[in-house]
Amino acid sequence: MSAKVRNDSNRDTEVLRQPAFRRLWGANGLRYSAGEVAGFALPITAVLLLHAGPLEVSLIFAFTRVGYLLFGLPAGVWIDRWNKKTVLICADVCYALAFGSVPLAYVLGVLTVGQLLVVAFLESLAGVFFDIAHTSVLPELMPKRDIADANARLQTSENAIQAVSPGIAGFLTQSVAAPLLYLFAAVCHAASALMVQGIRVERKVREAVRESRQSFRRDITEGLRMSWRQPFLRLMLVQTSLFNLGIGILLATLPVFLLRDVGMSPWVFGLQASLGAVSGVLSSLMCPHLRRRYGEIRMTLLFAGLAPFVLLAMPFAGVFTTIAVPLAFAAAIGINFVIVGRSVAGAGLRARVTPSAYLGRVSAAYIVVTRGATTLGGLSAGLLAHMWSTGTALWIAVLEMALPTVILLRSPLRDQRDLPVEWEVPDEGKKSES
């Protein structure tokens, strides 16, 4: 047992010794810092400054993710053919230009909900290419056996940033207008592009051939076919999509519910987001230990089983309004703990059952379906709140997010400790240097 733990510790150290991964880690941190600040400033600007209603807020939320529905599948094919580092840099530049337009329009006095929709769309467009390229480039930086630990480190740093950023941004809104926070996000993405530029990746360049339209369509559908034919990928795709549908309803409803209905100030709104992110950090830190002690599959089932219980506090905040703020804090802590745990548990497993040559397409298929579900959930949130109330929309979200738990607990995975060996693909072990 001690030898196994020592080997895992050496593997963790080996991941950090790779210069290319350290630069990718730093760029990811800058990008996530920008996303957290912009994500916090968006609902504050829309609800409190531009007085957007539930339908407008849900539409803005959907636009931040609609790019996955429109471009997710072809992006996977393109990224398998393109230089992934170039894709990451171009995405950062797009982010920087879009975010930089918001403070400029605010200073000029021409900022509107319409511009926020355009910025949200450009953000989602850049996010499609960044997310798929970021996921697909990891196997080109390290052996597949290290991907789970690399993902855990990325998730830990992301949640550490998430724990700090909303609270600081909320504090700054007491003296700085929310649209001006987008300037920080633009600078972060410019710095991220410079950091990615320093990465040198040894990659197997595909033979330069002229692809026909038929071949292009075939490449697009290959990601979906592989995601559906492989038992584990199919199960994860279905249950994650159902979960994300509820997440979309929840996240699109919360800004209007907390800022308008509950009357939460931007500072408290940011604080509850930060405390929720702390639980995400703890969750990501616990994942490597849980994986070694209980197994990968059991860890996945653990987070699935916790989901229905930790999500109840938020809709109850709409019932017990006198304690709505404490309940919102409790819900944020529980929701982030489950979401991060599910994300860390699933990312490494997907990479291990997917051939490297298809990672871009499979990642694209997974992202477009699961993020597309979040988009549909966000769109439905405004309709639910408009027809009934924000509180009713929250109850529907929680009930919907309980469905994946039933699916996982009734699947063959409930009897497994770790990923079945026959589902794994050989480790091609691409390496890089700086």
Ordered per-residue pLDDT tens for the chain, 434 residues: 444 444 555 555 566 777 888 888 889 999 999 999 999 999 999 999 999 989 999 999 999 989 878 887 788 778 877 888 899 999 999 999 999 999 999 999 999 999 999 999 999 999 989 988 887 787 777 776 777 778 777 877 876 787 889 889 988 998 899 999 999 999 999 999 999 988 876 554 444 334 445 566 776 687 788 888 888 888 889 999 999 999 999 999 999 999 998 889 999 999 998 888 888 888 878 888 888 888 888 888 888 888 878 888 888 887 888 898 999 999 999 988 988 888 877 767 777 788 777 776 787 788 778 888 999 999 999 999 989 999 899 999 988 888 988 898 888 888 888 877 777 776 554 444 43
Query: pTM for this structure?
Result: 0.79
Residue 232 lies inside a defined structural domain of this protein: yes
C-alpha pair distances (Å), 191 with each of 185, 387, 433: 10, 44, 21
Residue 58 lies in a domain: yes
* Within a domain: 332: yes
The number of distinct structural domains making up the chain is: 1
- What does the alpha-carbon distance between residue 377 and residue 253 come to, in Å, rounded to a whole number? 10
Q: Which amino acid is at 382?
A: G
Domain of 399, in residue numbers:
18-202+219-423
Residue 209 lies inside a defined structural domain of this protein: no
CATH number at residue 93: 1.20.1250.20
Q: Is residue 208 part of a domain?
A: no
For residue 433, being part of any structural domain is answered with no
Euclidean distance between CA atoms 138 and 136, whole angstroms: 6
